[in-house]
Amino acid sequence: MLRDIAGPFDAVVIGAGPNGLAAAVRLAERGSRVMVVEAHDEIGGGTRTRELTLPGFHHDVCSAAHPMGILSPYFRTLPLAQYGLRWIKPPASVAHPLDDGAVILRPSLEETSEALGPDAASYRKLIAPFLKNPHGLLEDALGPLRLLPKHPLLLARFGLKAFRSATGLARSHFRGPRARALFAGCAAHAILPLEFHFTAAMGLIFAITGHVEPWPVAAGGSHAITNALAAHLQCLGGVIHTGTTITSLADLPESKVVLFDTGPDQLVRLGHSHLPRRYIARLRRFRFGPGVFKIDWALDGPIPWRDPACLDASTVHVGGTLQEVAAAEAAMWRGEHPPRPFVLLVQQSQFDPERAPAGRHTGYAYCHVPANSTVDMTDAIESQVERFAPGFRTRILARATMTAKDFARYNLNCVGGAITGGVADVWQLFTRPVARLDPYRTPHPRLFICSSSTPPGGGVHGMCGFHAAESAHRRLAKLAPIRW
Domain coordinates of the chain in residue numbers?
2-64+222-286+424-476, 87-216+289-420
Residue 48's alpha-carbon distances to 51, 59, 225, 360, in angstroms, are 11, 9, 9, 21
- pLDDT one-digit tens code per residue, 51-75: 999 999 999 999 999 999 999 999 9
- In angstroms, the CA 87 to CA 69 distance is 9
Which of 206, 223, 224 lies closest to 215, judged by CA? Answer: 206
Query: Is a pLDDT exceeding 70 seen at residue 1?
Result: no
Q: In this model, does residue 86 exceed pLDDT 90?
A: yes
Going by C-beta distance under 8 Å and a sequence separation of 6 or more, which residues neighbour residue 160?
A: none
**Cα-based angle 474, 428, 371 (whole degrees, multiple of 5):** 120
pLDDT digits (tens, 9 = 90+) for 299-349: 999 999 999 999 999 999 999 999 999 999 999 999 999 999 999 999 999
pTM above threshold 0.75: yes
Per-residue pLDDT for 2 more than 80?
no
The pLDDT-based confidence of 430 (bands split at 50, 70, 90) is: confident
Strands 87-88 and 217-218 turn out to be: antiparallel
pLDDT at 5 over 80: no
Q: What is the pLDDT of residue 315?
A: 98
User: What confidence score (pLDDT) does residue 213 get?
Assistant: 98
**Fold for domain 2-64+222-286+424-476?**
FAD/NAD(P)-binding domain (3.50.50)
| Per-residue pLDDT band at 15 (split at 50, 70, 90) | very high
Q: What is the mean pLDDT of residues 289-295?
A: 98
Q: What pLDDT was estimated at residue 6?
A: 65
- CATH architecture type of domain 87-216+289-420: Alpha-Beta Complex (3.90)
At 140 the pLDDT is 94
Q: What is the 3-state secondary structure (H, E, C) of 121-175?
A: HHHHHHHHHHHCCHHHHHHHHCCCCCCCCCCHHHHHHHHHHHCCEHHHHHHHHCC
H or E element: which one contains 27?
A: helix 18-29
**Residue 145 pLDDT class (50, 70, 90 cuts):** confident
- What average pLDDT does this structure show over 272-299? 97
Give me the pLDDT at residue 351, please. Answer: 98
The proportion of the chain whose per-residue pLDDT surpasses 70, expressed as a percent, equals 99
Q: What is the predicted pLDDT for the residue at 148? A: 83
Q: Is the pLDDT of residue 82 over 90?
A: yes
Average pLDDT, the chain: 96
CB burial string 385-404: b at 16+ within 10 A, e below: bbbbbeebeebeeeebbbbb
pLDDT beyond 90 at 3: no
Which one-letter DSSP state was computed for residue 441? Answer: B
